[in-house]
Structure 1
Amino acid sequence: MSLTRDTILSGDLARMIREAGEGHRIMSDEDRERSLQAALAAHTLGEDIWVFGYGSLIWNPAFHYEERSTAVLDGFHRAFCLWTPIGRGSPETPGLTLGLKPGGRCRGVAFRVAADAVMTELDVVWRREMVTGAYRPTWVPLQMIDDGLQRQALTFVMDPENERYAGELTSDATAAAIAHATGRLGTCREYLFNTVAHLEELGLPDEHLRDLVARVNRIIGT
């Protein structure tokens, strides 16, 4: 299955996770709406919203936006810290996906969603990012690289209380999980490679992810 706007809005993504079993929690429509409304409580009605992407949102946002800008987030760093036993892995060989963790700095992409499309487009974002409730939607200050301005943006921080939180993994353990995992959305290494390639294209190299690519390539023999 491909992760697209259609598969998100049709419920195919949630259905894929639900049908896989393994006791995965799927947020109900009511809980998801409450989560979205809670995040929007800090937003001024009638204004645009910025959404910060640090992983697959960079190269596959699936929501409509008016503008995008490279940006820097201080106080958080990206890490492969969320086990995925379905999308990019299996129950037998779970993969890992990215989340934000406290400390450090993260460079990524900010997307501006038009005011009149906030509810429609954030519904897509929530159906994608909050399908299992593994993240905490968080308002963060971004320093835009393109124009130097500071803006508030919504992003998704790893919830350390979530049952799929991977904790602190060594680089070798992370690379081994990424190298071997395959799920309904593809291989875990494709997720890593795509993220690194698009960061490089944007002039935002991530040395830790580069190191993981090298480790994964050694494991798979390329």
Structure 2
Amino acid sequence: MTLITHKNGDDLWVFGYGSLVWNPGIEVAEIRRATLTGFRRSFCMWSIHHRGCEADPGLVLALEPHEGASCAGLAIRAADPEAALVALRERELISSAYYEQEVTLLCEHGESLRSLAYVIDVAHQQYVPDLTVEEQAGIIARAIGGRGPNHEYLSRTAEGLQARDIPDADLDALVARVQQILATA
């Protein structure tokens, strides 16, 4: 796999659509709301490290290629591009289910910029497409991994998007269903 080395001048931008929204894990110089076309935010990746384990995997969000789709999120400019790449790769490429891809983001004021994005490898064994909302909710409500409960990842992502005025009705519906399951457990 070839790793991305592209920078806009001296800048490195990364697209945040999930946990990078609320926990970038890098020193941030600037944030802009942005949209990526041709992909959707989807709970389509088994989490066997951070929000689940191999015996009982959780689910995490991934950028899933999807014709006609778009994903609203954040363009995040790293304060220290080299340190950011090291930290992001350690976090995002832990099992090779994601790969790095250069993408073009459309930012909130109409400008476009080149960015790094972590995209699901649809040939990887951790890719799990087309789960129903009920299946997703059941998995997320029970799974726990090295970084905590799977439901925490879901709720913190939804809260992070809401705080940035980035609506995601599907995510909000999933949060509500998981909360219902947890309330009856």
Q: Distance in 1 between matches of 2:34 and 2:51?
A: 27
Q: 1:110 maps to which residue?
A: 75
Q: Distance in 1 between matches of 2:49 and 2:74?
A: 26
Gaps of 5+ in 2: none
User: Secondary structure of the equivalent of 1:221?
Assistant: helix
Amino acid at match of 1:173: E
Q: Distance in 1 between matches of 2:164 and 2:92?
A: 23
1:111-137 CA deviation, whole Å, 9 max, x = no partner?
1125xx322221111111112111121
By how many angstroms is 1:64 displaced?
1.4
Question: Greater share of helix residues, 1 or 2?
Answer: 1
By how many angstroms is 1:155 displaced?
0.3
Q: 2:40 touches 2:70 (CA, 8 Å); kept in 1?
A: yes
Q: Distance in 2 between matches of 1:121 and 1:152?
A: 16
Q: 1:162 to 1:47 in 2, by over 3 A?
A: same
Q: Does residue 66 of structure 2 align to residue 66 of structure 1?
A: no
Q: 2:11 touches 2:78 (CA, 8 Å); kept in 1?
A: yes
Q: Does residue 144 of structure 2 align to residue 179 of structure 1?
A: no
From 132, 143, 146, the equivalent of 2:95 is 132
Q: Distance in 1 between matches of 2:131 and 2:167?
A: 22
Q: 1:215 maps to which residue?
A: 177
- Paired residue total: 182
Amino acid at match of 1:70: R
Runs of 4+ in 1 over 6 A off after TM superposition: none
From 93, 105, 116, the equivalent of 1:154 is 116
Q: 1:209 to 1:52 in 2, by over 3 A?
A: same
Amino acid at match of 2:74: V
Q: Distance in 2 between matches of 1:35 and 1:126?
A: 12
Among all aligned residue pairs of Structure 1 and Structure 2, give the percentage whose two residues are the same amino acid: 40
By how many angstroms is 1:108 displaced?
0.7
> Under a length normalisation based on structure 1, what TM-score does the superposition of the two structures give?
0.77
Q: 2:161 maps to which residue?
A: 199
> Under a length normalisation based on structure 2, what TM-score does the superposition of the two structures give?
0.91
By how many angstroms is 1:90 displaced?
2.9
1:72-108 CA deviation, whole Å, 9 max, x = no partner?
1111111011111332123332110110011211111
Q: 1:100 maps to which residue?
A: 63
